[in-house]
């Protein structure tokens, strides 16, 4: 299971949106363009998410991988 967040250094360049528009969307907030994460199943776009992380020039896409707890 992964979680994605966008750091404060995002400049709204749109590269991530071009690579994976299902997950990343550029929005304008108070005159500033930034990336917003969409509520989708990230597992369906893992390769594109990793490519967007690789090409983000400001290293603003933060991916956290967490283990799901499994009851035994
Ligand atoms: S590629 Fe990086 S800097 Fe550009 S919009 Fe996406 S998160 Fe922001």
Residue 28 structural domain? 2-65
User: From the CB of 6, is ligand 1 less than 6 Å away?
Assistant: yes
Tens-place pLDDT, residues 13-71: 999 999 999 999 999 999 999 999 999 999 999 999 999 999 999 999 999 998 776 67
70 assigned to some structural domain = no
Q: What is the pLDDT of residue 71?
A: 72
Question: Considering the domain boundaries, does residue 10 fall inside one?
Answer: yes
Cα 60 to Cα 7, 55, 56, 63, 67, distances in angstroms: 5, 10, 7, 10, 23
71 part of a folded domain:
no
Q: Provide the number of structural domains found in the chain.
A: 1
Residue 52 per-residue DSSP state: H
Q: Is residue 18 part of a domain?
A: yes
Neighbours of 17 (CB within 10 A): 19
23 touches 45 (CB < 8 A) = yes
Determine the distance separating the centroid of ligand 1 and the alpha carbon of 70, expressed in angstroms.
34
Here the CATH number for the domain that contains residue 14 is: 3.30.70.20
Ligand 1: residue whose CA is nearest its atom 2 = 56
pLDDT grade for 1, boundaries at 50, 70 and 90:
confident
For residue 67 the two structure tokens come to 């283990």
Classify residue 50: in a domain, yes or no: yes
């Amino acid at each position: 299971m992964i979680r994605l967040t966008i750091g404060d250094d995002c400049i709204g360049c749109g590269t991530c949106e071009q690579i994976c528009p299902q997950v990343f969307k550029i929005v304008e907030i108070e005159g500033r363009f930034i990336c917003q994460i969409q509520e989708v199943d990230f597992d369906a776009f893992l390769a594109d998410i990793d490519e967007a992380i690789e090409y983000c020039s400001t290293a603003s896409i933060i991916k956290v991988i967490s283990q799901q707890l499994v009851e035994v």
